């Protein structure tokens, strides 16, 4: 029995460990190490510690080559990011646009004001709900569909396109259709419920149901991406490992649970991070479907920030964006801690 034992899965995943967020790739092939001397000069292109004239001219060349990118990066990326961070410590408003330097530095006041704002606390809680409901559901559905599709042999392309289609359709068009589906009077969902004798619900007009309804729609709209990624990852799981486990008597579920899932760990981490960021920035669905209502029950942090920018409270809106940014960083760190491969 033990003579056909396959190599332990964790060794395979161990190989991928430092790939981090990289998509899963064929196992084994590592890039050969660079010759040590070259790699040292490459590692210190700007160092200039060496007196070697070649190294120095290389450093000069490196700077010259880097300047165009650096300039674009500083002006169009780093500049605005730092400016918005600076803005979050001032009381800048839309009426200050003609004279932006005349604003007052207010320290952390915008941040304390946000934390004290009842509406901000509500939208923060809503955003947390979007995250907690949305991520597991999206990943779960995507995984289930990917596992199913992995076994389908005919019409594979058709199904893949079908599941991916919602991702590329316009949110506005989709929302019109979903609004009809979820309509209280004569909506498809309520009509179907009536057929089986269940009472219809005011899906988008109830403070309890509106947020979950939007999550369901978001899951439908987003799981296609993760399905495609999971499918690619599933196809890289070596069949001999699964066959070995099967001949050891492992059931389908335990093969999935103890062989496939551990091998997909980096992909699941990637999916959790990407979808987590998506749900923390939840906006479009609520914007077009419910306008944040009823009674602010579907308003998210992004929606709140959008409103504040619209009201011209640039300082406060910038502060809200940075709080969201902080939440994303913390969530990502947490996910890395929980989901990284164990040795």
Partner 1 sequence: MKTNRTMKTGTKTLAALAIAGLALSACGRDATSAGGEAQSDAIDDSPASGTIEVWAMGAEGEALDEFTQAFEEENPDAEVEVTAIPWDSAHDKIQGAITSGEGPDVTLVGSTWMGEFGAAGGLMPTPEDLVDGDDFFPGAWEGNQVGGTQYGIPWYVETRVLYYRTDLAQQAGWDAAPQDWDELTQFATDLQSKAGAEYGINLQPGQTGSWQTFLPFAWSDGAELANADGTEWSIASDPMKESLQYYSDFFAEGLAQTRVMDAGELESGFTDGRYGSFISGPWHAALIEDAGTDPSEYAVAPIPGPDGPGASFIGGGNLAVLTDAENPDGAWKLVQWLSEPETQKDFYETVGDLPANSTAWDSGALADDEQLAVFGDQLDRAVSPPAVPTWEQVADIIDARVERTAKGVQDVDEAVDEMQSQASSVGTGL
CB of 166 to partner 1, least distance (A): 21
| 45: CB partners within 8 A, 6+ apart | 58, 59, 62
What is the rounded (10 degree) CA torsion for 312, 317, 318, 320?
180
Name which of residues 94 to 123 contact partner 1 (CB under 8 A). 94-99, 101-105, 119
Name which of residues 32 to 71 contact partner 1 (CB under 8 A). none
* 93 near partner 1 (CB under 8 A): yes
Q: What beta strand segments (E) does the chain contain? A: none
What's the half-sphere exposure (Cβ side, CA atoms, 13 Å) at 18?
A: 4
Nearer to partner 1, 15 or 307 (CB): 307
Options 6-14, 55-63, 304-312, 335-343: segment touching partner 1 (CB under 8 A): 304-312
Options 162-170, 190-198, 269-277, 307-315: segment touching partner 1 (CB under 8 A): 307-315
Among 12, 15, 205, 248, binds partner 1 (CB under 8 A): 205
Tokens of 54: 């070649």
- Residue whose tokens read 């969902």: 189
Among 244, 307, 325, 328, binds partner 1 (CB under 8 A): 307
Among 193, 216, 296, 306, binds partner 1 (CB under 8 A): 296
* 170 near partner 1 (CB under 8 A): no
Nearest-angstrom CA–CA distance, 231 and 2: 31
Among 184, 246, 248, 284, binds partner 1 (CB under 8 A): 184
Nearer to partner 1, 57 or 77 (CB): 77
* 155 near partner 1 (CB under 8 A): no
Nearer to partner 1, 267 or 305 (CB): 305
Residue 90 bridge partners (DSSP): 105
Nearer to partner 1, 279 or 314 (CB): 314
Cis peptide before 144 (omega within 30 of 0): no
Residue 105 bridge partners (DSSP): 90
Nearest-angstrom CA–CA distance, 24 and 228: 12
- Residue whose tokens read 């704002």: 117
- Residue whose tokens read 């009201």: 311
CB of 201 to partner 1, least distance (A): 13
Q: Pattern of binders to partner 1 over 69-88, x per CB under 8 A?
A: -------------x--xx--
Question: How many degrees, rounded to 5, is the angle at CA 319 between CA 314 and CA 321?
Answer: 95
Nearest-angstrom CA–CA distance, 255 and 246: 7
The site for partner 1, by CB under 8 A, has a size of 34
Where would I find the H helices in 44-187?
A: 53-73, 79-87, 109-116, 118-151, 156-168, 171-182
What is the rounded (10 degree) CA torsion for 131, 293, 217, 178?
-170
Q: Pattern of binders to partner 1 over 229-268, x per CB under 8 A?
A: ----------------------------------------
Among 261, 293, 336, 341, binds partner 1 (CB under 8 A): 293
CB of 67 to partner 1, least distance (A): 21
Nearer to partner 1, 261 or 288 (CB): 288
Binding site for partner 1 (CB under 8 A): 82, 85-86, 89-91, 93-99, 101-105, 119, 179, 183-184, 202, 205, 291, 293-296, 307, 310-313
């Amino acid at each position: 029995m033990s003579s056909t034992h396959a190599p332990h899965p964790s060794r395979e995943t161990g190989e991928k460990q430092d790939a981090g967020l990289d998509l899963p790739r064929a196992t084994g092939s590592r890039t050969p190490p660079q010759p040590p001397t070259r790699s040292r000069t490459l590692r210190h292109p700007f160092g200039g510690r060496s007196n070697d004239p070649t190294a120095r001219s290389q450093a000069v060349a490196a700077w010259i080559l880097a300047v165009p990118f650096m300039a674009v990066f500083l002006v169009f990326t780093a500049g605005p990011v730092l400016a918005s961070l600076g803005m979050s410590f001032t009381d800048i408003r839309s009426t200050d646009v003609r004279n932006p330097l005349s604003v007052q530095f207010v320290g952390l006041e915008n941040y304390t004001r946000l934390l004290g704002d009842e509406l901000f606390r509500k939208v923060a809680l809503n955003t947390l709900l979007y995250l907690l409901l949305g991520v597991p559901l999206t990943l779960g559905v995507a995984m289930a569909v990917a596992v199913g599709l992995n076994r389908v042999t005919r019409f594979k392309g058709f199904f893949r396109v079908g599941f991916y289609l919602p991702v590329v359709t316009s949110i506005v068009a989709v929302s019109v259709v979903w609004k009809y589906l979820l309509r209280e009077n004569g909506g498809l969902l309520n009509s179907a419920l009536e057929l089986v004798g269940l009472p219809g619900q005011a899906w988008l007009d109830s403070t309890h149901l509106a947020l979950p309804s939007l999550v369901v729609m978001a899951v439908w709209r987003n799981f296609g991406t993760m399905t495609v990624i999971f499918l690619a990852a599933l196809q890289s799981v070596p069949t001999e490992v699964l066959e070995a486990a099967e001949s050891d008597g492992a059931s389908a579920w335990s093969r999935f649970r103890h062989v496939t899932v551990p091998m997909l760990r980096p992909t699941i981490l990637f999916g959790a991070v990407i979808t987590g960021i998506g749900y923390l920035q939840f906006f479009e669905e609520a914007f077009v479907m419910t306008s944040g209502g009823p009674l602010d029950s579907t308003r998210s942090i992004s929606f709140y920030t959008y409103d504040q920018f619209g009201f011209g409270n640039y300082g406060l809106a910038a502060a809200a964006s940075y709080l969201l940014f902080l939440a994303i960083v913390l969530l990502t760190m947490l996910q890395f801690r929980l989901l990284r491969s164990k040795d």
